[in-house]
Chain A
Amino acid sequence: MTRRHHRRVFWVLVVVLAALHVDFFNHGVSPPPIFGWLPVDLAYHMVWVIAAAALVLYFTQYVWRDSDGS
């Protein structure tokens, strides 16, 4: 894939993750906690942060060039 493709993939994933951050489907409901103690809402956002961190690694590797523009 070229850098242009990587950039497109990155921005699409940014939009998808931003949309998934607004987890209104979790609001106002109280499902049983995961493992009996971890609230689903909290677990959801912890997983979201891990996905975001993975995306940041991808973008610093394939999208952001080591160029100072000169």
Chain B
Amino acid sequence: MTEPGNAVAEAGGTPPHTTTAPADARPPRPGKARGGWWGGDASEPVRRNLGLVGVLVLLYLIGVFSRPDIFASGARLWSNELTVLTQAASIGVITIGMTFVMISGGIDLSVGALLALASVWSTTVATQSYGPGVMIFTALAVGTVAGAVNGILIAYGRMVPFIATMALMVAARGLSQKISGKLTQISKVDTINKIAETKVLGIPLLVIIFGAVAAAGWILLNRTTFGRRTVAIGGNPEAARLAGINLRRHQVLLYALSGLCCGIAAIMVTSLSNAGSSDHGNLYELQAIAAAIIGGTSLAGGRGTIVGSVLGVLVFTQITNLFIVNNLQLEFQLIAQGAIIVGAVLIQQFRVAALRRPAPPGA
């Protein structure tokens, strides 16, 4: 109500000067310099994420000082970082899906539970009997369908994303307990179990999967109509709707995408533990949301990057790793993670405020 914009609208009939808008004196800037498929806005997130890269460097330096035996030796650092990345992989995949949902202005609290459900469903005795292909398909399908249920509740049931996905967070966990009888379901399918052990050119397959999902996510967000719709809906849902974008259908697709990521992560976690369990993915929703926020994704929607989210996951996992290699208690690790979240959000708000300084008046 006190925003000058409203008052300007009210006072529309009383302009102080009657100049006609000046003809544009400046020649249009040459638009080609950064054109092309990879060009244009791609360097933007890199600049925006320099701070996160700085935090990673800082964490590395802390590592060098506290455990020089690991962080100052090339070979041991390499193997330690591969461990970090392997741990980050399943959370990372989920964070990519979460990033899309959050950019659209939503949130998905059910990711951890959907992971558990997908892992349990794909490792029942019956499913295992059909072999690895059907197991993978089952995990992906269960995640996607459950995610779509989230989307349908939100888009067509007009439920707040927080509530709808919280309902599925509880219900999917319960369903996975029912299916497994609260027992760990050992995977006897070698192909699945070996995924976590496989290395391609010295890099664990899980890390490669994370990288592939992140790359696909980047392309989807920045280079496709799907991504454009996502950003538009998050930036201004009413404007998107009035421009003819089918808001509801897109919401269903977004939560299905998040569910699909849960299915992928379920296979990764199953492979790491050689089992499906209703306890898998516990608190993953908090970690994924935190990682996305650290990466600069706004809870209010409209803003966020894949690169930022990947860096957010790495920061989060690297902190955990530092605490483990220094034999510090879990409690301190949690406190540090909380501090990082607060710091990241404060910095983000500061930046947004700077971005939104009042526009120069007049035409």
A binds B: no
Task: List residues of A whose CB falls within 8 A of some B CB.
Answer: none
